[in-house]
Structure 1
Amino acid sequence: MDKMRVQGDRFVNERGEQVIFNGINLVDKEADHDFITPGGDPLYEQLAAHGINLIRFGIYWNKVEPAPGQIDEAYLARVAEQIQLAQRHEIYVFLDMHQDLYAAKWGDGAPDWAVLDDGLPFNRSDLWSDSYFISPGLHRALDNFWQNAPAGDGKGLQDHYLNAWQAIAKYFLEAENVIGFDLMNEPFPGSQSQEVVQTLIGYLGEKLQMSPEQLMGIWLDDTKKQGLLAQLNDAATYGEILQKLTAPVQAFEKATLNPFYDKMAAGLHDLLNGKALFLETSFFANIGIPTAISFSPDKNEVFAPHAYDLVVDTNHFENYSMARLGHTLAVHRQVQEKWHVPLVLGEWGAYFDQPETKAISEFHVKQIEANEWSQTYWSYYEGYFTSPTARVLERPYPQAINGKLHAYHYDPATQQFDLTYKAFPGTSRIFVPHLHTVAISQLAEQGVRADKKALPGSESGVLFITADAEQEVVLHLHIG
């Protein structure tokens, strides 16, 4: 497989072709599966047939380093088997050190020996993520991690974390289809989060004439919470609220998260072999707060934010807000433009089988196409392939453009695919579902030379467009 590298705000392969990734998360949280998504070779074949060419693959600190300083290479070998299956089907991978609620004993992530909570309580909420806001033990454990407090062996927690990443990087040093490492899923500030929460409660309390106790009670009640969120379904109001939260969120990123990323980058510098570092915003920036994380152009870094609406992880799909999602995606675009780095939308969705999610998924994909982003949808699950989102993502898109991509878009209503780019001498690669519906003669009439290659066991395939000299390519294809 082609080696990938970062060039400005794009991924390029070893021939210098611009690469677009259309991907999905494989992050299995089930101990019964040994935290690896079951399915084997047939799963990867089906993913490739649906146009998936990138996987955000979840790994866990407690599995990598179950005891201080002890790396479980048998676990890494099981991960490597999955990466080799992906390679067999020309699918790239970046490894995500996943955590939810910091620790394996509360959610997933840190091993028990790295949880220094000083005996403070963990309080479980109905909506899993609300536990972040009401658990003193979780706050203390995270504070100790961010301060690099010593584990039982006297070595700092962050130092252990870096050593775990170094072991991972060494193990996958020569893996051709591993393009990088996502250093931490959704970093959470710990006790500093209370300043964000108090700022939000203070603002909403004044605006809605409610006490902090009333507001927290509403927030933790799923039904009452929907009424509150309905009042935030306005881009101007939503943006005003997020502006109030920006200072405390950015304070954590500037003082704590950026130094952490710098430390990881320095420790991994000699072990990357061209692989990129994927940097996520803090947890709160998933909803559209401008991030203050910084990027170094010489460190092969990728902006890997998440984008969720406030109703994520509930069953209230009818209350998803395009205004709030649009604000979040626009803010992420501004950050990318500021730093001129590639953007991979690492998580979005969690939509599953609800019919309302088709329109929401199409909204996301339209923004992804317009910005020429790569993405990894959250997430694969049994039944994914018949979901509304899977049908939206299985669409024509340019996987590799030998030249300068101007624009592309697929309209699912008309089944029309439009692509314009300045071609250089050589061949570009377009994924096409229902490849048999594309006639080579149709392409010849539009002034390009093309070949087709079907993918095994499916109606999907790849369209190869070859130019002998520099030329403008403008394609209008009906697919389906």
Structure 2
Amino acid sequence: MPRKRLCLLGVLLLLTGYLSTAGAQPARALPDELWFDAPAAATLTVEDGRFKDGLGREVVLRGYNVSGTTKLKEHRGLPFASVADARKSARALRALGGGNSVRFLLHWAYAEPVRGQVDTAYLAAATAQMGAFLDAGIRVYPDFHQDLYSRWLFGANSWYTGDGAPRWAVDLGGYPDEFCGICLFWGQNITQNEAVKRATYDFWHNRHGVQDAFLTTAEKTMTYLRQHLTPAQFAGVVGFDPWNEPHSGVLDPGQTSRTWEKDVLWPFYERFRARMDAAGWQAKPAFVEPTLFWNANIGFQKEEGGFLDVGRLGPRYVFNTHFYDQKAISGIFMWGKAADGQYVTDFGTVRDRAAATGTAAVISEFGHPLSGGVSDKAPTVLKAMYQAMDSRVRGSGWWTNPSGSGPVLSGQQWQWDIYNGRHRELMNDNPGKVQTEGDAWNDEDLSAVRLDDSGTPVLRQDARLLDRVYPSATAGSAVAFTYEDRSRDGATTLTWNEVPRSLPAVRQLVGSGQYALLVWRSDGSAEPTELHLPASFPTSATTVVSDLGVTVSPPAYTRATPVAVASEPGGTGSRRLLLTDADSGTLHYALVTNGATAPPATLLDAARTELSTWTVAQFG
């Protein structure tokens, strides 16, 4: 049976399940014109090195980590104090932050507080909070999070703390008192704290069967999620991240980080993959992370890795990595601020490693401190990171080399914590060290959101930076993409991708506004290509110039409308641009801007002519 007919059949079957298993959501038929908003559209697989939804469209996942609160005892290892707070956060993440996905943190210590006994009350609470995001139309991949192996390695008066393994796993080890020496940053404990190093080593070598216990708990957790989420919700769970930021702890004699990754880390992932299959997650990929420092941008910290010796991962795995600019965070190795193209090489390496391993890539953590001595770099660092996820070509060279863009990368910013600045965490259970500021964990402060005095979520960063245009679903394949967000660094507007003077009509149309340009090759789909529309792109101020049509204030979507707008799934008020043409192999383009007010038809026609000529010249 042809793929499109299979997709349509899947939509009908899944839609039936959706309408009959909506749980607390009121049962209602989908409007005929939004027939593609069924669980099939939420289902995600890996195909030809890209994420694909159940309708065959190329998908980009953008969003946040939810949340570092899981590391704390304050809410018993959960991201939220209640399901109501989870719903509030999910709505804000969609409507304010522009996210369509989250990496949802779980805590092993709370899932298995007693060896061999899974706490179903914890799993029930986590499942309900996860469901709040799924009901808001947000895709989820859970992550069993750990940092510095375990909080139980640290005493009441320690300078730092950890999270992850339960107390019983630490008690088995007989580890020395933790001590990091001269550690200016908590991450130095990974390589300098003997207790952390030894406990980490023991986990990877399954001493006392601790790795076996973790895998058993992971399987039970995944089974619980599959059984207690509705079919429609479970369709939106896109995979699982087995272990956060893996590091060897201690290498065996003659071993290198590269051979450790091949001989120790990868077998663990294969064991985890088998547990996913046993739990009924056969169709969902494992989001596997290479050794932590494989892509560090400080030379003495960098380790060889990136799955160089594993071979092709294939569609059952996703190349999942983190990126923080340690030079910028250090305050020592980077003077000044980030600039146009700052990270295109770093993120290009991620694209290359994913392609070499035959799978899709996701940058599941990236970010920068929002307070402290280096916080002034945050606006430029984050803009440069988002820029590098959009394209591997710097802004100043994009219009002359768009074909070098590469795939649009998926990524989840660290982090989305509505309790930022309002925590009450007893650090290492010490009542004399109550943490309230920032993220309440090792002096970090990276949350993009907080609650105001009325309890309403508000952004802590420029909305123009966070709420972005991006191609959330492409009917075919994205060939090139760029977005000029015009975000601010203080009072300065950061413009790194000016429309060139060789395109005067396009330049005039965009003016000082934000703009995005997507070039894609169609595949004959009847489904629309979707771009997220930020709140800064209200319908009345949105202009689209495309080979599919030219429109000011795009109309509401119907199947017969090639350029239109619609709400995004989940009822949060967020919106999307829909571009539809059921041809095959045709190269399309669409410029989306909020820079024009009532532009005349002559200007729109001139801009379309310029873009059509430019597209032919650049792509043939």
> What is the identity, as a one-letter code, of the residue corresponding to 1:35?
G
Q: CA deviation at 1:403?
A: 1.4
Instruction: Judging by fraction of residues, say which structure has more helix.
Output: 1
Tell whether 2:247 aligns with 1:188. yes
Tell whether 2:138 aligns with 1:122. no
Deviations 1:77-96 (A, max 9, x none): 11111221111211001011
Q: 1:444: which partner in 2?
A: 549
> What is the identity, as a one-letter code, of the residue corresponding to 1:36?
L
Q: CA deviation at 1:425?
A: 3.4
Contact 2:368 2:382 in 1 (8 A): no
- Separation (CA, whole Å) in 2 of partners of 1:396 and 1:339: 29
Q: CA deviation at 1:459?
A: 7.4
Inter-CA distance 298–420: structure 2 relative to 1 (3 Å threshold): closer
Secondary structure of 1:260's aligned partner: helix
Q: 2:265: which partner in 1?
A: 257
Inter-CA distance 462–291: structure 2 relative to 1 (3 Å threshold): same
> What is the identity, as a one-letter code, of the residue corresponding to 1:182?
D
Q: CA deviation at 1:304?
A: 0.5
Contact 1:4 1:11 in 2 (8 A): yes
> What is the identity, as a one-letter code, of the residue corresponding to 1:452?
V
Q: 2:499: which partner in 1?
A: none
- Separation (CA, whole Å) in 1 of partners of 2:60 and 2:252: 35
Secondary structure of 1:178's aligned partner: coil
Q: CA deviation at 1:431?
A: 0.6
Q: 2:274: which partner in 1?
A: 266
Contact 2:483 2:516 in 1 (8 A): yes
- Separation (CA, whole Å) in 1 of partners of 2:253 and 2:187: 14
Tell whether 2:296 aligns with 1:287. yes
Contact 1:127 1:313 in 2 (8 A): no
CA root-mean-square deviation: 2.9
Contact 1:435 1:460 in 2 (8 A): no
Contact 1:421 1:472 in 2 (8 A): yes
Contact 1:182 1:278 in 2 (8 A): yes
- Separation (CA, whole Å) in 2 of partners of 1:312 and 1:167: 41
Q: 1:408: which partner in 2?
A: 481
Inter-CA distance 380–352: structure 2 relative to 1 (3 Å threshold): farther
- Separation (CA, whole Å) in 2 of partners of 1:193 and 1:461: 53
TM-score by length of 2: 0.63
Based on CA coordinates, which of the two structures has the bigger radius of gyration?
Answer: 2
Deviations 1:380-435 (A, max 9, x none): 23362433365313111111111121111111235121011123332111111123
Q: CA deviation at 1:477?
A: 1.9
> What is the identity, as a one-letter code, of the residue corresponding to 2:168?
W
Q: 1:166: which partner in 2?
A: 219
Tell whether 2:326 aligns with 1:310. yes
Q: 1:205: which partner in 2?
A: none
Gap runs ≥5 in structure 1:
151-155, 196-246
Deviations 1:297-337 (A, max 9, x none): 45610001111222476577856667985553233232112
Contact 2:79 2:105 in 1 (8 A): no
Contact 1:94 1:179 in 2 (8 A): yes
1:275 to 273, 284, 296: 284
- Separation (CA, whole Å) in 2 of partners of 1:391 and 1:34: 34
Q: 1:31: which partner in 2?
A: 73
Secondary structure of 2:245's aligned partner: coil
Tell whether 2:433 aligns with 1:380. no
Deviations 1:440-465 (A, max 9, x none): 79873279812212469987411111
More divergent stretch after superposition (8-17 vs 329-338): 329-338
- Separation (CA, whole Å) in 2 of partners of 1:458 and 1:275: 26
Secondary structure of 1:77's aligned partner: helix
Q: CA deviation at 1:295?
A: 5.7
Q: CA deviation at 1:362?
A: 1.7
Deviations 1:241-268 (A, max 9, x none): xxxxxx8321221221112112222233
- Separation (CA, whole Å) in 1 of partners of 2:582 and 2:538: 24
Alignment of 1:71-470 (within 5 A): 71-105=118-152, 106=154, 107-115=162-170, 116-124=172-180, 125-150=183-208, 156-173=209-226, 174=231, 175-192=234-251, 248-271=256-279, 272-287=281-296, 289-293=303-307, 294=310, 296-297=312-313, 300-311=316-327, 325-352=343-370, 354-370=375-391, 371-381=407-417, 382=420, 384-385=448-449, 386-388=459-461, 391-412=464-485, 413=495, 414=512, 415-423=514-522, 424-426=524-526, 427-433=528-534, 434-436=537-539, 437-439=541-543, 444-445=549-550, 449-454=562-567, 460-470=574-584
- Separation (CA, whole Å) in 2 of partners of 1:98 and 1:319: 33
Secondary structure of 1:12's aligned partner: strand
Count of residues paired in the alignment: 424
Secondary structure of 1:182's aligned partner: coil
Contact 1:435 1:459 in 2 (8 A): no
2:589 to 471, 474, 480: 474
Secondary structure of 1:192's aligned partner: coil
Contact 2:219 2:278 in 1 (8 A): no
- Separation (CA, whole Å) in 1 of partners of 2:50 and 2:344: 22
Tell whether 2:58 aligns with 1:18. yes
Secondary structure of 1:262's aligned partner: helix
> What is the identity, as a one-letter code, of the residue corresponding to 1:335?
R
Secondary structure of 1:253's aligned partner: helix
2:101 to 48, 51, 54: 54
Contact 2:368 2:381 in 1 (8 A): no
> What is the identity, as a one-letter code, of the residue corresponding to 1:435?
P
- Separation (CA, whole Å) in 1 of partners of 2:148 and 2:567: 43
> What is the identity, as a one-letter code, of the residue corresponding to 1:176?
A
Contact 1:308 1:325 in 2 (8 A): no
TM-score by length of 1: 0.81
Contact 2:78 2:107 in 1 (8 A): no
Percent identity between matched residues is 25
